Chain A
């Protein structure tokens, strides 16, 4: 966190000054470790085993927060009799469909009651969302937690083998160190104290990344650390507004405010879309209000009840269009044009060779950035051109480069990790032809509208009917960012008056809002994201600094900060509580609950919508109002996090016969070669990538700046003195790092900050690779991501770049590198998957990831009508 979020780390240091214990778990000793109380070196890719060990510790030693667990989690729920655990099936859960190579989650559900997830995949096994599943909650409970089918007992069995000894064998962490961390965490949780987890892409970028976070969520639910001050799980985002870019998404499968993108297979009309998106219980029962208001914001007067609010104007998904799939499609010649805005995929994304091969198949490419980054220059400067494998004159892609304005050169908001929107004012005019993104998109839209002006074709109506009337000013006709934020906030259609929040939104077309969760940022006509009242002049929650979604709440699900009776768990951790006299929730923050719903309220059996939320259901977005220790649906790869090895590992999975996440996304192609699952002696070392404080991601914002470039002027790799001795590497000298994808060279930094782990008497060496450099800019070097393959998490399609294997040798790389290795492991004993998983996917309904076919010439699964 100190490395990549130094400004946020200020508050960690403040906490430390006040006596907080900082525990840092990382393969490397970083700037965070330097100031932490405890540093725990861990084998990259083994965190679920470590966290699972903590869950076992909590359960075995009865350290969980019993009142919290009984009332606010689904620990008491009874699960379907058909459920079988990974303990029973050697690493698989029940419901594995060998032919489809995916899970049918039906057996994971609550006994006699299916429930729809608040997020994640809702299509289930059939590819059709099951509206009948949207029941309110589990019907059967065991408050004694003794029933062998209750979540609590299933959890206990699932993690029974995650012992301190097993943690040592998998993670390389001694039982003493493990006990110290587990005890510190437990001691610092409960009524009087809370603990927080902070994580970043070290947890997410794995083929089972989502389940890493799930494991932390289970711990926090067991310890009662959610919805309370000082608790939570903080996703440290990689850029100033990455949170904003998921709220108002740049993701292919979401509409603003986490509404699902319609899918062509079954969202055939608005009625179906609404049916499938609306939960019968919990807050997602409000879904139609947000969907209609969004369509009104998009299409204005053209959106009417009779025409389903122009629902059919929305693009519909025909398949998985996530980044890696899109690039593979591109490489196969199926994508014509590509916009790259504020991103440098040939450096920042995995398998640079495949990225560039894909770009070279495009007709046109638009790059918007501060400088001519590598992605814009790929056609004349790349390792392939250097090696003579590609020639600029043979690359037909037409590249359009647009210089971009920086954040100081434009108005707008950042949304940070805490969901806090903070307005930034333009300080200076952008230089030359540089323009804001807003300018680019707005004028692109205007020109498109002008082009189609005379069209009478129905298919062009979406462009013609799109509301696109933001006021623009100045010589460059810069559109008003504030006008856009007003539209996002929402307004009543009749008079254009700004609404005060999402509870004012309607499903009858009388309101419009660009993103329901941001509704209220302009409450009372005031741009609340601009507020800058110093902390010293307001309460410690500081509600008048910026504006946090939803409804300016600083802590989500904060009903959980009070006990079932609505009283604070303790004076010390007082936050939100029930005022019996006024009959309302009150506190230091905006209560995240229905304001006048008393703790004693219990829904009637036939209740619907938000009436189903009982007085002790703090997690209101969940259909059953409870924190899901066990996820009965929504995840592709299982209801409980399970330790699987990375796609490429240095060891066999000690826990299960199943080596890797059976649901991981794979691309078996000649241009995306994999190593053997483990013990591949060509690639004996564990590699991990990361960022340094001095640079920003793929370097577009830092490698062109002398003051940052001089601080970290060259690509380097970090190795331990032991590995340096083993491989003959010299500090300050050169090393070549190789995978089956390619090889790169780097300067060597020999440091004790990387410590080999002794596991089962064997030394496991980890090599650290910062990934900021490439061929352009003031400082250059090889890009670490060239080494990484396309492998993904099935839930969110993120790549696995934090743990993979490779080789290191002294000296510079060969200028002509031909990498020879088989597409598939040639040794059958080294398969990643159990026989029951191994069958490859032949057909796919389009919305599951699973495994992809071999060979780049095979036709795509994702074509319409497949």
Chain B
């Protein structure tokens, strides 16, 4: 089956947070507590065990190139699990709780997860998180249950401005590239895609949930050059093998040397 995912176009987002609420309602997630952060209109602060969509609000002292509003702009971006082509969480999961589904999404099976937390440190985006009360790891499922019934994920369904597009990743990529061209044509030259392909983001080999951004990734609290830690494992084993061989050579050499010495 073709990979399914999200294309989140932040230039259409109006920061209404309908995605956050629809996600929580469909997935029956608890609130994250009632804390006034003082960070613009963002009071849920980050993705976590019970917040699977999160809208960040960025107040910048920089104008958008297509806007006449003084040296200021307000960026919104609805963040979500990226369902990486190479997923650090999945590859580090020792129990097999995290699987790749028929939609190429990354899914945590809550009945198998034992709460070891390896996945948490292996996600380069800080998406997956353990819930304090039950200790297990939770994140966006790409609404696996809805997809099984051929329904759109709750967040994309609720998005009033169609900033969140859901569909086959290949189609979304094409749509996204066209959108960037269109924006460039309108003079918004700062628009670019984040994580839409293996080539542009080798550290994850591309994201099944990618973004259209208008400033550096760090501005949106996204890593500029994310890399799945497990991606280094093969190289790690290789160098370890070399190191072991080297050590062996030294050991053998020193034994031989000592023998030679004995002989001497």
Contacts and interface: CB of A to CB of B under 8 A. Distances in A.
B74 interface: yes
A653 B16 CA distance: 38
B258 interface: no
Interface in A346-402: none
B142 to A, nearest CB: 20
Interface in A170-189: 177, 180
B132 to A, nearest CB: 16
Interface residues on A, range: 35 or more
Interface in A559-607: none
Interface string A26-65: 0001011111111100000000000000000000000000
B31 interface: yes
A563 B17 CA distance: 45
Nearest to A706: B31
A749 B33 CA distance: 19
Contacts of B33: 710
B34 A779 contact: yes
A752 interface: yes
A771 to B, nearest CB: 16
Given A710-B33, A710-B44, 18 more contacts: A2-B16, A9-B161, A13-B161, A29-B69, A29-B74, A33-B74, A39-B69, A693-B15, A693-B16, A708-B21, A711-B17, A711-B21, A713-B35, A747-B36, A747-B38, A751-B40, A751-B59, A753-B59
A38 B40 contact: no
Nearest to A34: B74
B74 A753 contact: yes
A540 interface: no
Contacts of B18: 6
Prevailing SS type, chain B contact patch: loop
B152 to A, nearest CB: 16
Contacts of A751: 40, 59
B129 to A, nearest CB: 16
Interface string B51-73: 00000000101000011111011
A268 interface: no
> Which of B15, B21, B59 is packed against the most chain A CB atoms within 10 Å?
B15
Contacts of A749: 38, 40
Contacts of B261: none
Given A34-B74, A37-B66, A714 B16 contact: no
Contacts of B15: 2, 31, 34, 693
Nearest to A781: B36
Interface of A: 2, 6-7, 9-10, 13, 17, 29, 31-39, 177, 180, 692-694, 706-714, 716, 731-732, 747-749, 751-753, 755, 778-779
Contact of A752 (B14, B30, B61, B67): B61
B20 A34 contact: no
A711 B37 CA distance: 10
Contacts of A747: 36, 38
Nearest to B161: A13
Nearest to B13: A35
Interface residues on B, range: 35 or more
> Which of B44, B66, B67 is packed against the most chain A CB atoms within 10 Å?
B67
A710 B43 contact: yes
Given A707-B31, A749-B38, A751-B40, A37 B67 contact: yes
Contacts of B67: 36-39
Interface in B75-106: 75-76
Given A6-B18, A34-B74, A35-B14, A714 B34 contact: yes
A97 to B, nearest CB: 46
Contact of A10 (B11, B66, B68, B160): B160
Nearest to A780: B34
Contacts, number: 111
Contacts of B38: 731-732, 747-749
A751 B42 CA distance: 13
B161 A10 contact: yes
Contact of B34 (A29, A713, A753): A713
A34 B34 contact: no
A799 B35 CA distance: 33
Given A2-B16, A6-B160, A710 B32 contact: yes
Nearest to B44: A710
A711 B68 contact: no
Contacts of B37: 732
Contacts of B30: 706
A694 B72 CA distance: 23
Given A13-B161, A38-B68, A709 B14 contact: no
A163 B66 CA distance: 28
Nearest to A752: B72
Nearest to B73: A34
B59 A39 contact: no
B24 interface: yes
9 contacts: A6-B14, A9-B14, A32-B14, A33-B69, A34-B73, A34-B76, A39-B69, A693-B15, A709-B31
Nearest to B34: A713
A29 B68 CA distance: 12
B162 interface: yes
B25 interface: yes
Contacts of B162: 10, 13
A37 B160 CA distance: 20
Contacts of B41: 692, 694, 712
- Nearest first, the 8 closest Cβ-Cβ pairs linking A and B are A732-B38, A713-B34, A39-B69, A706-B31, A34-B74, A6-B16, A2-B14, A714-B36
B36 A711 contact: no
A732 B39 CA distance: 8
A31 B72 CA distance: 13
B160 A694 contact: no
A64 to B, nearest CB: 25
Nearest to A39: B69
B36 A713 contact: yes
Contacts of A755: 70
A16 to B, nearest CB: 9
Interface in B138-161: 160-161
A115 to B, nearest CB: 43
